[in-house]
Structure 1
């Protein structure tokens, strides 16, 4: 029936489409009127056609099988365990436990949790080989437990290694070699680059260069560590719906290209969270609209796990209501909007195929320049990465300040009666804490901070 239906229509070439568009423009210039350039340096056209699609990014991950994920910051094992058991009963399929200290009773933390059915991520802000042993003792071959250790990400964000580069990388190698039943040990926290203001192209390039530092080190010091290796990549998703979707497709492609260059068969596990860059203190309910579309981009882009950002995360401490709303947004996408039923809804969309390919090509070009200049760590030490991110962030800030980048309720249609001063449980702005570092840290900053500070100061 469908073959018959399509045979009833003549194929229309790209040339015919352009002729029709030019006719309807009634003399206006096609390029000046309908083509716009993004901050990524990509021209967005009014029509995309298979005639001009010479390359496509192969299908590396279906949209089926993504997990509704809950983030839990661990202070007390018993309270965190109670919280985890509760949210699993309420629909969470994976838990991210973020840990700042190694003295944790992991058996108490995982009590009553079936790690064969619920995926567990331990995001560690330290390196401790004894922790690996403790968790390994609790893991079985069927357990879905991932450790996330990223010493390079730590030095990029905080300006310091956990101890020093030699010790950190040696410990990481030891952890990888003794990972046992753990699915993964190595992580790349690329969400830092988004939240600091890097363009999508540079987010991809920095993630690739970041990863390449580990590959280089492991190849030189322990080739065995590259066998059966899985890398988790924490990504942040912005509000450019189709480009963010394409970003994840391009990321998998680039990951596959890099691992292929090392002639190793390793897997990539992507965890996506809405970015903080465009989130606002005032008119905070709009954050729910922003995070919904960002989660949609993550799912359709092929993330393995999606952890939503609560609408009040900027100014409230962790609370049951905010977490429940964030989790329910994902459950609605999965259970009521059926975002886990279609294999790859983006396949065959010439626009998405085109921007995925262009993002990958541009990112690969930046990556090669980083490598030719000494690599990611060298560029971090010289401050080049930080400077490039600041340049990108400044351009975004200028667009926001001139209302070309719109955040409803903040720089456009603000509610002048909105008051927030008495609701602040957390400090929602960049904290300037002078401290001794080995490199200049990459600083996360939101677009709305200056406006919000002015409004808070003027509240009666």
Structure 2
């Protein structure tokens, strides 16, 4: 009869203090903190190793039980073509569709014709209509379809500088939708803050304060809130960001007796994407999607490698979808529930990000709340300051984008390949507040290169 033995029982445990002493010895007199400890933009000091005896407790982030869904984005202009594209996409591996509908003339019955009702359909509505929201809700109820409406008046204010109509009318309409809707109807566009250059602690705090405005103003929220998140390039910090968001939201929601988990749709950021050496964008989006999955996103919508400069096209969509299919079905990213649990580094970063974000959130609330600080320009100023620091690192070559400010291919030519304008668009208009502007790090450098072609 064989007996099972613990193979590691013969080895003595090594404490964190012993590890540090050995590292200090190997450094041959160099300063441990100056050599191996670095500080993140959020002010978090990152150590070279993390150990059980000084790790954060397990934070129980309540990751979703179901594996992440692969989402395809479709901008609806021609209903028939959008319907055909959605059906084709679902037949080729997508599991959810995010329709962007710009006006009320789009008839949901035509758009949904012959589409399988087993999939989840997100409806991004950059307008606010009680009647249209009711129509979508009624259709979902009648056909037992899984619809999620993405309606965000505060996000509209932050991004465009104006309400749809006014704060009173927008909140009144949203309250009416809340009372009557049978589907998830409310979203928070948190990707705006990341794409504009906010650091991670700011992103979390602004997202939480954004959601808190809805809790304060709309008492009839009886469905999960959907968070649209942009995922950046700092791999482990982005995993921790999504985990920290769940912890913070659950803490906030409990105060309002809201018992639903937040629903997270993650998309790679545009901030680090480039025109030149554009194939590197595929590498960036792959690691960003990995962060989203490991962080516990409910759904992931990948960003095509050519999204900056090409209109929607079958090849770009297929490649971006295949990246997620490989992660899910060949790399088995859907097989382990909450895989980051117990990783000392990620647990510690999660805790530190949550603590820093909570302090900032409390400061926002003590100074009038999120909308008040938008009106005063405080949020915009702080994001701009953070973005400028990151821009300076990029301009000085300390923040590296391979193929752009490091090892660029001087023979690349892009001027004749631009179908879309890839830079910040100037749109002079009268606004209530200064909008939060999304801007990529490489824009100035790319404009200079285009001018020299």
Q: When the two structures are superposed, what TM-score results if normalisation uses the length of structure 1?
A: 0.96
**SS in structure 2 of the partner of residue 139 of structure 1:** helix
Distance 2:148 2:64 in 1: 21
1:157 alignment partner in structure 2: 159
2:405 alignment partner in structure 1: 411
Distance 1:156 1:282 in 2: 30
Residue 54 (structure 1) shift: 4.3
Equivalent position to 1:370, from 364, 371, 377: 364
**SS in structure 2 of the partner of residue 234 of structure 1:** strand
CA RMSD of the aligned region, Å? 1.3
Query: Where in structure 2 are the equivalents of 1:57-456 lying within 5 Å?
Result: 57-62=59-64, 64-115=66-117, 117-140=118-141, 142-180=144-182, 182=183, 184-218=184-218, 223=219, 225-226=220-221, 228-456=222-450
Distance 1:86 1:128 in 2: 29
Distance 1:420 1:385 in 2: 35
Residue 265 (structure 1) shift: 1.1
Contact 1:63 1:302 in 2 (8 A): no
Distance 2:185 2:345 in 1: 36
**SS in structure 2 of the partner of residue 273 of structure 1:** strand
Contact 2:56 2:347 in 1 (8 A): no
Residue 344 (structure 1) shift: 2.1
**SS in structure 2 of the partner of residue 371 of structure 1:** helix
Residues 226-279 of structure 1, C-alpha deviation per residue, up to 9 Å, x if partnerless?
3x3210000000000000011000000000010112232122100000000000
User: More displaced, 204-213 or 38-47?
Assistant: 38-47
Distance 1:50 1:188 in 2: 36
Distance 1:196 1:63, change over 3 A: farther
Distance 1:281 1:439 in 2: 31
Contact 1:56 1:354 in 2 (8 A): no
Aligned length: 450
Equivalent position to 1:17, from 16, 19, 24: 19
Distance 2:5 2:188 in 1: 46
**SS in structure 2 of the partner of residue 313 of structure 1:** coil
Distance 2:385 2:110 in 1: 46
User: More displaced, 268-277 or 100-109?
Assistant: 100-109
Residue 62 (structure 1) shift: 4.5
Distance 1:190 1:257 in 2: 18
Residues 381-423 of structure 1, C-alpha deviation per residue, up to 9 Å, x if partnerless?
0000000000000000000001110001100000001000000
User: More displaced, 340-349 or 310-319?
Assistant: 340-349
Distance 2:390 2:329 in 1: 35
Contact 1:271 1:304 in 2 (8 A): yes
1:52 alignment partner in structure 2: 54
Contact 1:197 1:390 in 2 (8 A): yes
Residues 36-73 of structure 1, C-alpha deviation per residue, up to 9 Å, x if partnerless?
11111111101111211244321311474100100001
Distance 1:2 1:10 in 2: 19
Residue 355 (structure 1) shift: 0.3
**SS in structure 2 of the partner of residue 381 of structure 1:** helix
2:37 paired with 1:43: no
Distance 2:313 2:251 in 1: 41
Residues 346-384 of structure 1, C-alpha deviation per residue, up to 9 Å, x if partnerless?
111100000000000000000000000000000000000
Distance 1:380 1:107 in 2: 38
Distance 1:64 1:7 in 2: 37
**SS in structure 2 of the partner of residue 122 of structure 1:** strand
**SS in structure 1 of the partner of residue 128 of structure 2:** coil
**SS in structure 2 of the partner of residue 306 of structure 1:** strand
Contact 2:58 2:341 in 1 (8 A): no
| Gap runs ≥5 in structure 2 | none
Residue 12 (structure 1) shift: 1.4
Distance 1:185 1:62, change over 3 A: closer
Q: When the two structures are superposed, what TM-score results if normalisation uses the length of structure 2?
A: 0.97
**SS in structure 1 of the partner of residue 262 of structure 2:** strand
Distance 1:119 1:403 in 2: 43
